[in-house]
Structure 1
Amino acid sequence: MANTKSSLSKASVVTDFKEITKMGLSISVVFSALAGYLLSAETINYTTLILLALGGYFMVGASNAYNQIIERDLDALMDRTKNRPIPAGRMSVNTAFIIATSFTVLGIITLYIINPKTAMWGAISIFLYTSVYTPLKTKTPLAVFVGALPGAIPFMLGWVAARNGFGIEAGTLFAIQFFWQFPHFWAIGWFLYEDYEKGGFFMLPTGKPDKGTAVQIIVYCIWTVVVSIIPVLGFTGDLKLSIVGAILVFMLGMLMLIFAMRLFQQRTAKAAKQLMLSSVFYITMLQIIYVADKFLR
């Protein structure tokens, strides 16, 4: 019986650690950073790849832990978040703070070993997410714009890790992920609207799931697709995209746009969820296509 309790408590600790650092989200961010590195690297350094993966995970894990410390009282009000480690009482604020600060230090050190500019962008990301985006979420819908800044850093972070510099290429990768986040997060804000309302969060541009929000989602889907195929024109330095790659990305974008149009027509939580899933599919496949296009060209 004691052994069963012990193993259950160990499993709970692991689960809570995954949740306080949002492991799933952190891994998707690491995927973006590694894709950016592979696009940039002339020769692949596997030590740098490992450091980037670790540093990226620490960076996002720290941001998420700080976020859950700051929002613990609001998290307790929402069905989606009330069972998180802190509001559910399974983890103390002190423990969460130790995890957050440890991850911050480890993340910056790990990224600094790659090069100082990578560490600098990692530190900027943590600061913006924790100190600007998180407090603004209960005050203004512009919080999504602010949150899109740190959210767009990982894709370009990989490029900076390989080149130790920020240019038109890193800026283009930043822009792709920046514009993509608006339809993605507004779709989430739409189907979780009632839950977010309980916590007092303003996540939609008009403040509610209406036609105006749906129109803005469509506009940002179009911007995302336009920015995503710009490298085919040859204006973005070493970041290139073949005609075939651009067509594939464009088709992916049209799929996402179809779901955005469907949300405009139906204005339902189900349509918003479908758009969110299509946006995740879009950014994941875009990164795979970009990398494959580089190595198959």
Structure 2
Amino acid sequence: MSKSVTSKTSHSLISDFKEITKMRLALSVVFSSLAGYLLGAEIVDFQTLLLLALGGYFMVGASNAYNQIIEKDLDALMDRTKNRPIPAGRMSVTTAFIIATIFAILGIVILYIINPQTAMFGAISIFLYTCIYTPLKTKTPLAVFVGAIPGAIPFMLGWVAATDDFGIEPGTLFAIQFFWQFPHFWAIGWFLYDDYKKGGFFMLPTGKQDKATALQTLMYSIWTLLVSLIPVFGFTGRLYLTPLSAIVVALLGLGMVYFAIQLYKKMTVKAAKQLMLASVSYITLLQIVYVLDKFLR
């Protein structure tokens, strides 16, 4: 075998591995977990940070691989997913299952080393995503509500990893990321509506690109902003936000609400894509502002 063929094969193996575990998504989840840890930790332990990053990555990778095994036939019908390793025939279901199972075991063990509660929430996340959210996606738009639970766990998980405690603080972090899931996923569901339809997925709350869906997306964008500001009022325990940081978060949130209003007004694919990008920017910048606020005050 020539050197170029060998390198191409290894490249495709690496890219398939990244695709089956959705590496980019996994890294964004790890970012949320680390932000939650930094918010909860009184003294930052870099060993725990590393374990959380690894454990979080393995958990998300496992969920994504199991998801792609279950949806392999539907993925083959959609332009967005037909070139994934399993429907494209580059990876067998057995190989994907082995990767998913190894990742799940490694993830739970690594998170258990941090503390048992962290491992428990990680395991709940995999179970909900794989066994409830994934099968519901072709049955009901309510699947997004179920999927928002494992989607909201990472930010909270970091705090639990730092404190071995679940209280008002991680509960608030969970609520922020929970409400945020809706405008984010409905925006994706809007601009990928035709492709999702091919696979039989109905991700929008009314099942259609209509005013009611756009209105719900706008309402959840507003609720996300309001929940994000709760820590400034001082009744979320150790999770506190100074008024200056709250103003920054409010401005960021109003940016996301603006794009949700644009979707309501225009009801276009372009407006949905802009809202999706705005939502990703919002949650990332919010987490950075929260962490900086803690360490700079």
2:20 counterpart residue number: 20
Spell out structure 1 runs of 4+ moving beyond 3 A: none
- Map 1:212-231 onto structure 2 (within 5 A): 212-231=212-231
RMSD: 0.5
Aligned partners of 1:155, 1:211: CA distance in 2, in Å? Answer: 31
Correspondence 1:33 to 2:37: no
Aligned partners of 1:105, 1:206: CA distance in 2, in Å? Answer: 38
Aligned partners of 1:200, 1:262: CA distance in 2, in Å? Answer: 27
- Map 1:161-240 onto structure 2 (within 5 A): 161-240=161-240
> The residue matched to 1:255 in structure 2 has which SS?
helix
State the 1:185 CA deviation. Answer: 0.1
Aligned partners of 2:255, 2:130: CA distance in 1, in Å? Answer: 33
Aligned partners of 1:277, 1:246: CA distance in 2, in Å? Answer: 22
> The residue matched to 1:232 in structure 2 has which SS?
helix
Aligned residue identity for 1:77: L
2:241 counterpart residue number: 241
Aligned partners of 1:293, 1:209: CA distance in 2, in Å? Answer: 39
State the 1:3 CA deviation. Answer: 1.3
Aligned partners of 1:81, 1:75: CA distance in 2, in Å? Answer: 5
Instruction: Please give the per-residue CA displacement for 1:27-81, whole angstroms capped at 9, x wherever unaligned.
Output: 0000000000000000000000000000000000000000000000000000000
Correspondence 1:116 to 2:116: yes
For structure 2, the residue ranges without an aligned partner over 5 or more in a row are none
1:71 counterpart residue number: 71
- Map 1:213-292 onto structure 2 (within 5 A): 213-292=213-292
- How does the TM-score come out when normalised to structure 1? 1.00
State the 1:286 CA deviation. Answer: 0.1
Aligned partners of 2:89, 2:281: CA distance in 1, in Å? Answer: 35
Aligned partners of 2:41, 2:188: CA distance in 1, in Å? Answer: 34
Instruction: Please give the per-residue CA displacement for 1:113-139, whole angstroms capped at 9, x wherever unaligned.
Output: 000000000000000000000000000
2:49 counterpart residue number: 49
Aligned partners of 1:26, 1:140: CA distance in 2, in Å? Answer: 25
Aligned residue identity for 2:65: A
2:293 counterpart residue number: 293
For structure 1, the residue ranges without an aligned partner over 5 or more in a row are none
Aligned partners of 1:141, 1:11: CA distance in 2, in Å? Answer: 37
Aligned partners of 2:271, 2:223: CA distance in 1, in Å? Answer: 20
Aligned residue identity for 1:273: K
Aligned residue identity for 2:98: I
State the 1:10 CA deviation. Answer: 0.2
1:157 counterpart residue number: 157
Aligned residue identity for 1:75: D
- How does the TM-score come out when normalised to structure 2? 1.00
Instruction: Please give the per-residue CA displacement for 1:212-254, whole angstroms capped at 9, x wherever unaligned.
Output: 0000001000110000000000010000000011000000010
